A = this chain, B = another copy of it.
Amino acid sequence: MSKQLWDVEEVPPPTGTDGRQLTERGARTRERLLQAAETVFAALGYHDASIVKITDAADVAQGTFYLYFGSKQQIFDELVMDLNRRIRRAMSEYADTATTRADRERLGFQGYFRFAAEHPALYRVIRQAETVSPHILKEHYQRISRGYVTGLAEAMEAGDIATSDPEVLAWMLMGIGEIVGMRWILWGETDVVPDEVFDQMYLFVTRGMGTGPDR
């Protein structure tokens, strides 16, 4: 397997609201706030989350928040992009253990479901973005799709799956992963996708891509 599918970019060093570089202490506080935000947004949703609740959870004073983030929106956006990077990393880690190309998508799904199970914030936070920060939501899907497209195009060229528009395919795979994760992980009794469901899903996907068991 050549390179990583979701080749996750490095993050630039964080700055304060005024644009200045942070001391180590500052960076630590900022990180605490970001973690608190994840918890609070996941538990309460964007509206109902409040800056007081975030600073309480981070155990800093209200005013401190504004040293690092300009507004509730801004920390939200940052959190979404942070989650996005972590999902892609999770998917990469799984997918890159594949020994055959055909296994890649399967492992990608598993990475995604695993991450979703461990981070309830994922759905609660990201779906909010639709109205809170539409452009960030777009960005989120696009970044994931990009990774898929790369891998799918390769697979098509190698003749492993039927040739088609890799972008359409990529979005469909995301749509499937998202709704299955929501239905069986977020709303399910267990926090994994049951094996029979996974298998049915995967059968559908491979058939759809033109790599069924018949191939």
Interface residues of A, Cβ cutoff 8 Å to B? 44-48, 123-124, 127-128, 130-132, 138, 141, 164-165, 168-169, 171-172, 174-180, 183, 187, 196-197, 200-201, 203-205, 207-210, 212
Contacts and interface: CB of A to CB of B under 8 A. Distances in A.
B187 A172 contact: no
A172 B197 CA distance: 11
Contact of A207 (B131, B138, B207): B207
| Copies of this chain in the oligomer | 4
Nearest to A125: B131
A111 B122 CA distance: 30
Contact of A209 (B44, B172, B187, B204): B204
B165 A171 contact: no
A131 to B, nearest CB: 3
9 contacts: A127-B130, A128-B131, A141-B183, A169-B204, A172-B176, A175-B177, A178-B179, A205-B208, A207-B209
Contacts of A168: 180, 197, 200-201, 204
B208 A164 contact: no
B128 A124 contact: no
A208 B204 contact: yes
Nearest to A135: B187
A191 B97 CA distance: 40
A164 B212 CA distance: 14
Contacts of A178: 175, 179
B187 A179 contact: no
A127 B131 contact: yes
Contacts of A48: 131
A194 to B, nearest CB: 10
A22 to B, nearest CB: 15
